[in-house]
Amino acid sequence: MTIAALTTEELAGQRLMVGIEGTTVDAHTAALLQTLKAGGVILFSRNIADPAQLATLCRALQDCARSCGLPPLLIAIDQEGGRVARLKAPFAVFPAPATWSGTAAAQGFGATSARDLQSVGINMDMAPVLDVLPTQGPSIMGDRCFGDDPRQVGRMGRAVVKSLQQGGIMAVGKHFPGIGRTLIDSHLDLPVADFTLSELESVDLVPFAAAIGAGVAGIMLSHILYRQLDHEFPASLSIFIARDLLRRAMGFDGLVLTDDLDMGAVKGRYDLETIAGQILAAEVDIALVCHSRPAMETLHAIFCRRLDGDAGQRQQAIAAVQRILSFKRRFLGHGA
């Protein structure tokens, strides 16, 4: 499908990745996808009963997109290993990333996870975690991280990226520019980090640079306020962090995603009009809204209005959707 064939509503919808309820594509879910023209769906434990059901769900989601005349969906999941793993037995179960012994273990995780995800129709994994732990003291991330050595985290993350993507699964490194040294859970509130850019470059950005070098398909932005870089907006909404640092300074030309906009760090703190404007201005490709249907619908409507009313934002949206469609063609085949 070409950009020229997409309506304003479809251009806006390709920028959305949404959560759904239940384990089937019922009338409610079908209507949601048809209304939003969504480009992606993210699945959670609530959507999974067993492998056969999950494969049926993914096929039905793609059938729904096809019936609406849309490109194939990105279907994503959080499968990190350890405590953040939506797929349970009989799928392969891995211990926490902090316990992996080296890059061979990371490669094994990526290759096995790619086979499991491919077998049920999932095409994107929100992994690896590229956050770096502090050398001393606690972290909100704990055993989800590969450790406190930025270069080792980079080597492990690179191995996961390469093995997932060699297996046909888009990898998404997270949480840019790094949340390993924070303590507040962004699901609940907005953490504040006081690091300078040079401090981030010497520690937190090292694994992301390694993942970019490995061709990582996506990078997820954190809901953290790095007040020495942007005193007003968290990374997920920051023009400086998403566009100037990640895109321009670090040369990342893959997919840039927000973390879930239903999280407490942003929900209620920033209105959806502001959120939409920042996402568009920061050249963020995909906005995640994992729970609230009203928020999904409102964000889509704002995107549509802005794309119709601002030629510059429409051109930016076209560039973003071109990136999205290029990854869909690469990983999902000829129907994209």
187 has catalytic annotation: yes
Q: Which residue has the higher pLDDT, 188 or 131?
A: 131
In the block, residue with structure tokens 């985290």: 153
- Stretch 118-134: mean pLDDT, rounded? 97
Tens-place pLDDT, residues 51-107: 999 999 999 999 999 999 999 999 999 999 999 999 999 999 999 999 999 999 999
- What is the reported pLDDT for 184? 85
**Which is the catalytic residue, given 148, 187, 262, 310?**
187
Is the pLDDT at 168 greater than 70, yes or no? yes
Domain tally, the chain:
1
Query: pLDDT per residue over 302-314, tens digit each?
Result: 999 999 988 888 9
Pairing state between β 192-193 and 225-226? parallel
Tell me how far apart the alpha carbons of residues 115 and 79 are, in angstroms, rounded to a whole number.
12
- Any alpha helices (H) in 242-292, and if so which ranges? 272-281
Beta bridge partners of 46: none
User: Considering the domain boundaries, does residue 1 fall inside one?
Assistant: no
pLDDT, tens digit (0-9, with 9 covering 90-100), for 37-46 = 999 999 999 9
Provide the residue range defining the domain that includes 221.
Answer: 17-332
Contact 83, 144 (CB under 8 A): yes
Asked if residue 5 is part of any domain, the answer here is no
Active-site entry in 131, 204, 259, 260 = 259
Q: What pLDDT does residue 3 have?
A: 80
In a domain, 4, yes or no: no
∠ CA 221-227-231 to the nearest 5 degrees?
Answer: 95
Q: What is the CATH number of the domain that holds 120?
A: 3.20.20.300
For the chain, what is the mean pLDDT? 95
Confirm whether 283 is domain-assigned: yes
With a CB cutoff of 8 Å and minimum separation 6, the contacts of 189 are: 264, 265
φ/ψ region of 266 (left if φ > 0, alpha if ψ in -120 to 50, else beta) reads: alpha
Q: Is 291 a catalytic residue?
A: no
What pLDDT, on a 0 to 100 scale, did the predictor assign at position 109?
Answer: 98
pLDDT-derived band at 336 (thresholds 50, 70, 90) equals low
Q: Nearest 5 degrees, angle CA 169-CA 145-CA 323?
A: 35
Owner of token pair 């490995």: 214
Q: Strand 84-85 to strand 79-81: parallel, antiparallel, or no bridges (unpaired)?
A: antiparallel
Q: Which of the pair, 185 or 125, is modelled with greater confidence?
A: 125
- For residue 32, give the H/E element and its range: helix 27-36
Query: CA-CA distance, 49 to 88, in Å (whole number)?
Result: 10
Q: Looking at the predicted structure, is the pLDDT value of residue 1 above 70?
A: no
Q: Which pTM value belongs to this model?
A: 0.96
The answer to whether position 7 is within a domain reads no
Question: Would residue 11 count as lying in a domain?
Answer: no
**What is d(CA 25, CA 27) in angstroms, rounded to the nearest whole number?**
7
- Which residues, including other chains, have CB under 8 Å from residue 237's CB and lie 6 or more apart? 258, 266, 270, 274, 275, 278, 279, 282, 284
Q: Is residue 6 part of a domain?
A: no
Nearest 10 degrees: Cα torsion 229, 243, 127, 170 = -170
CA–CA gap between residue 153 and residue 159 (Å, rounded): 10
- Decide if 21 is inside a domain: yes
